[in-house]
Structures are given as C-alpha cells and as structure tokens.
C-alpha cells in the first residue's frame, strides 16, 4: 500500500458485521455512507458504486442484500487497492470487483469494460465541493475525496449524470447523497436524462435546516419530482432517533 494514504486503521460497522480498513486521516466511513446504503433499493442485479473509496457503500450493501453483483469504481489507485483488500476481508470476492479509473472519462470506462446500459442501479457519494470556490483540506486524501472541478458549464453534477445516463439500463436508477444547495443543478441536468426525481431531506435535528439530501432518479422516466418527508437524525438531547439508530446498525430502510 502506498505511503500516500498514511496510517491505515481497521474499523467495524453494522454492529461488527463489516470490517473496514481505511486511512486514519482523511475521508472516513460514517453516517453519509450508511444513509446512502439505507436508501438504496434492494434486489438489483448489477450495481455500481461510483467513487467507491475503500468500498464502504458497496460492502455495506453486500452485507445487507444478497442479490446484486457489485462493481466498485475508484479513481485513486491506492484507495482501490484498499477496497480490494476490504472485499477479501469480508469474503465478498465472489460477487464484487473493483476498477481503478476515473468514471467521468468515457474512454477509461470503455477500456475497463464498463459498457452502455450495463447496470440497473448506481449508488454514489460524490465530492461535495467545487475546487474553485472552497478551501481544500490540508490532508491531500481528504481534499481529493471532498472536492472536484466544475465542468465547463460550472456544474458539479453534470459529469456524474452524463456517466450515469451512459451506464444505466433504460429505467435504471441512481441513488446519491449530497448537500441541499445542489438541488437546482440537479434538476437542470436531470432534464432529458432522468425523471421520477425524488428527494428526501436529512436534518441533524428537527429545528435545524437540512444538511444532506438523498436523491433517487430513473433513467428515461417522465414522472414528476417528489419531495419526501424529512429524516431527523437526533432528538432534542442529541441522541439518535430510532430510525437513525436502526440505520447505523444496518437495520433501517429509507423507503421511496
């Protein structure tokens, strides 16, 4: 493993059902990954974890759903190697594979054997911030995970949505977690590609503004946008709400 990742630690998720090796510093598995996994529909055949990091979301889903064959795609070769190690640690090699490539580059996708209409479900926890407008973390790996350049139109999401539209089967779905301020960008760049856009706000506490949204959309659908009831993570005493606690144990589901 490259020294670029620094110290590697071993953590447990899902009440110790999942063993995860990941960098001690940088972007670590947490609530975002568990929320995304809880919002991912079960029963897919071919699932892609886009921007997989050390494989957290794909590995969680492998524990929770016996159905899909899962492909992890990660542009950082060191993280991709760690994802492969995590697959082995959790005995998932028979139904998972990892590809080290930049998913947003069509030529790299094709060279790796990722084809049009290949997947019926894509999950993604992408970088949240634009490099041009946010100060990068002093930790290079954390900055790499949290930030990316906008495209020529000034959009963070458009490159991902173009890739999803290419890789998803007709009526295939993507599920993504992001920040609420991208809703306008999301709606704009789903047009002509995705419909049945469904958004669930996530609030730290009932009296606080949403700090995350979980998104689902269907390729080629003409169904209108829906805004679902919010998920509240903490009660007035700062404890997890029952559903949030169940999600952290791998027992809660965010239905669509």
**Would you say residue 187 has pLDDT above 70?**
yes
Domain ranges of the chain: 3-248
- What CATH homologous superfamily does 3-248 map to? Vaccinia Virus protein VP39 (3.40.50.150)
Q: How confident is the model at residue 143, as a pLDDT?
A: 47
The strand pair at 18-23 and 8-13 is best described as antiparallel
- Output the CA torsion 33→39→42→44 (10° steps): -70
Residue 4 pLDDT class (50, 70, 90 cuts): confident
Taking residues 99-115, what's their average pLDDT? Answer: 96
**Would you say residue 242 has pLDDT above 50?**
yes
Per-residue pLDDT reduced to its tens digit, 112-124:
999 999 999 999 9
Q: How confident is the model at residue 26, as a pLDDT?
A: 76
**Would you say residue 129 has pLDDT above 70?**
no
Per-residue pLDDT reduced to its tens digit, 40-98:
999 999 999 999 999 999 999 999 999 999 999 999 999 999 999 999 999 999 999 99
Q: How confident is the model at residue 201, as a pLDDT?
A: 98
| Region of poorest pLDDT, from 41-55, 149-163, 225-239 | 149-163
- Output the CA torsion 110→177→19→63 (10° steps): -80
**What percent of the chain is modeled with pLDDT above 70?**
89
CB proximity list for 77: less than 8 A, separation 6 or greater: 2, 100
| Region of poorest pLDDT, from 19-33, 127-141, 170-184 | 127-141
**Would you say residue 7 has pLDDT above 70?**
yes
**Would you say residue 134 has pLDDT above 50?**
no
3-state secondary structure 190-218: HCCCEEEEEEEEEEEECCCCCCEEEEEEE
Average pLDDT value over all residues in the chain: 91
Residue 213: which of 157, 147, 135, 133 has the closest Cα? 157
Q: Where are the beta strands (DSSP E) in the chain?
A: 8-13, 18-23, 46-50, 69-74, 96-100, 119-124, 129-130, 147-148, 168-178, 194-205, 212-219, 226-227, 231-234
Q: How confident is the model at residue 151, as a pLDDT?
A: 58
Taking residues 12-23, what's their average pLDDT? Answer: 94
**Would you say residue 136 has pLDDT above 70?**
no
Q: How confident is the model at residue 28, as a pLDDT?
A: 81
Determine the longest span between alpha carbons in the chain, in angstroms.
52
**Would you say residue 245 has pLDDT above 70?**
yes
């Amino acid at each position: 493993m490259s020294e670029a990742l620094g110290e590697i630690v071993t953590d447990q998720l899902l009440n110790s059902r999942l063993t995860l090796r990941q960098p001690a510093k940088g972007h670590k598995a947490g609530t975002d990954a568990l929320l995304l996994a809880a919002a991912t529909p079960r029963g897919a055949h071919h699932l892609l974890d886009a921007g997989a990091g050390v494989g957290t979301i794909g590995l969680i889903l492998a524990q929770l759903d016996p159905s899909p064959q899962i492909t992890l795609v990660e542009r950082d070769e060191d993280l991709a190697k760690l994802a492969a190690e995590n697959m082995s640690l959790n005995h998932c090699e028979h139904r998972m594979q990892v590809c080290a490539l930049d998913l947003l580059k069509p030529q790299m996708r094709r060279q790796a054997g990722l084809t049009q209409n290949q997947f019926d479900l894509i999950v993604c926890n992408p970088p949240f911030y634009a490099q041009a407008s946010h100060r990068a973390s002093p930790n290079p790996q954390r900055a790499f995970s949290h930030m990316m350049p906008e495209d020529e139109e000034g959009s963070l999401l458009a490159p991902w949505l173009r890739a999803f539209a290419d890789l998803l089967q007709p009526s295939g779905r993507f599920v993504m977690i992001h920040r609420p301020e991208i809703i306008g960008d999301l709606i704009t760049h789903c047009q002509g590609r995705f419909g049945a856009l469904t958004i669930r706000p996530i609030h730290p506490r009932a009296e606080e503004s949403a700090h995350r949204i979980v998104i689902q959309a269907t390729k080629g659908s003409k169904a209108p946008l829906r805004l679902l009831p919010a998920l509240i993570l903490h009660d007035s005493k700062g404890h997890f709400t029952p559903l949030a606690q169940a999600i952290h144990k791998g027992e809660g589901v965010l239905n669509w």
